Structure 1
Amino acid sequence: MTTVADALPALGLRVVAGDLELRGVTDDLVVELGDLAARGVHDPARMPFSFPWTDTAPEDFLSSFAQYHWRCRADFSPASWALNLAVLHRGEVVGVQGVNTSDFLVTRTGETGSWLGRAHQGRGLGTAMRQVMCAFLFDHLGFTEITSGAFTDNPASLTVSAKVGYVANGTVRYRRRDEQADMTQLLLTPEAFRRGPQRLEVEGVEAFRRSIGLDVAG
């Protein structure tokens, strides 16, 4: 029987490493993740994201959250794509780990980003889910480098990146809540990558590779 994953292979991805699972964000997970994010992702007095999506008014939050994920689906193409995977720990939804890229077939690089519900922070999950995603990108999609970024006043994110093996690669200045803020740019190579202890079990990768232009006969 044909499923939605046949039309949108990202929804059929499943990456498991021990107690962690990264899974395509289906509509039921959009709602569950939106409810989790609405309960808090960070201290409201601080803004860790270059795009301040958590500043959305409460009455508009779930709609805006869902529209973002649907927009990523609608705009998905080999030329430019965002892959957002729901993160589950022992079956419980805890956050999202994603990567964005353009011209991947030429550049073989992309930028990771993530968030965790506040109740799930401080338990090592941020590091573990980034390790799972980076292992998937390097080993199964052929990335040759991965980038990321964190504001200089976000030591928790910078610490996670360092644990995974990213190194500083310059600084970019942003406007953040109408004030200046500096973001450390980060770079990860396969040689510097510090893997997690668990072996990956992957489902749906063949169809996803074809959807981004890999393994397609010329």
Structure 2
Amino acid sequence: MTADPERRAADPLARVWPLFGLVIETPRLVLTPVRDEHLPELVDAVLAGIHDPAEMPFSVPWTDAPRSVLITETARHQWRTRAGVTPEDWTVNFAVLHRGRVIGSQDLRARGFPLLRQVGSGSWLTRSAQGQGFGTEMRAGVLQLAFDHFGATSAVSEAADWNRASLGVSRSLGYTANGTALVEARPGELQTQQNLLLAREDFVRPDWTAEVRGARAALDFLLPAGTAAPAD
């Protein structure tokens, strides 16, 4: 599969679903909302493994599902998320491509965005792509989209308190601790979740700037009708 941002931007489907025209390019990655053509590689990335089976980094233990369920539920999740986008409550799931191959997913989400101007994020990488700085790069890419193009003023994230890799990404980008919560990682199994907060002015920017296309059309689509884009 090739990652051709210019082709995606010109795709007529973006005229009816403007999110499909959104593209974020970082030095090594291309992020674009998950399309059906990404699903086979996205499923392969999931099936190749995301984490040690003895641990559960997600608040919903979806990776515990059998292989056959993971295949179908990965597709269903993407379709449900896409269909559930409203101006009041939205999540954009990005396929993360490296050298034209899907290696993971990065989401950006918000509720009541015009008033709160806060976004959240979550992500995963297939195990073979971990440990190479991609997690930091893809998060920095969506933060630049949120802060510089959507007008967000803060971002939140969370991770299990033992998840050093995820917490390390957040701290390297300027997030600070914002309380903890007990969550049921697996049935009957509690773990502590570390909540994190990042103000736009505290964002530790990388030494590169993401190239973003289609942000204005995407933001107009995500805002309630008649709502002006957030001012800086």
TM range (shorter): over 0.9
Superposition deviation, residue 57 in structure 1: 1.3
Unaligned stretches of 5+ in structure 2? 1-9
Q: Report which stretch shifted further, 119-128 or 82-91.
A: 82-91
When residues 2 and 114 of structure 1 are mapped into structure 2, their CA distance, relative to the original with a 3 A threshold, is closer
Q: Does 1:90 align with 2:124?
A: no
Match of 2:119 in 1: 110
**8 A contact 2:41–2:101 mirrored in 1:** no
* Cross-structure match for 2:223: 213
Aligned partner of 2:151 in structure 1 is 142
Task: Say if 1:132 and 1:196, in contact at 8 Å, map to a contact too.
Answer: no
Matches within 5 A, 1:19-168: 19-168=28-177
Q: Report the CA distance between 1:209 and its aligned residue.
A: 1.1
Higher deviation after alignment, 11-20 or 126-135: 11-20
- The alpha-carbon deviation at position 168 of structure 1 amounts to 0.4
SS of 2:200 mapped into structure 1 = coil
The equivalent residue for 1:9 is 18
Aligned-partner SS, 1:111: strand
- The answer for the alignment partner of 2:195 in structure 1 is 185
Q: What value does the CA root-mean-square deviation take over the aligned residues?
A: 1.7
Please give the alpha-carbon distance, in whole angstroms, between the structure 1 residues aligned to 2:210 and 2:11: 27
Could you say what secondary structure the match of 1:59 adopts? helix
More moved, 55-64 vs 1-10: 1-10
Aligned length: 218
Deviations 1:100-137 (A, max 9, x none): 21111111112110000000000111111111111111
* Mapping of residues 193-204 of structure 1, within 5 Å: 193-204=203-214
Q: Does the Cα contact within 8 Å between 1:20 and 1:87 map onto a contact in 2?
A: yes
Counterpart-to-counterpart distance in 1, 2:65 and 2:153 = 35
Alignment deviations for residues 15-67 of structure 1 (CA, whole Å, 9 cap, x no partner): 11222211111101122111111110111111000011111211111110111
Is the Cα–Cα contact under 8 Å of residues 11 and 21 in structure 2 kept in the other structure? no
**1:116–1:83: structure 2 CA closer, same or farther, 3 Å change rule?**
same
In 2, distance between residues paired with 1:63 and 1:199? 36
Q: CA deviation at 1:2?
A: 7.3
Cα distance in 1 for partners of 2:59, 2:89 equals: 19
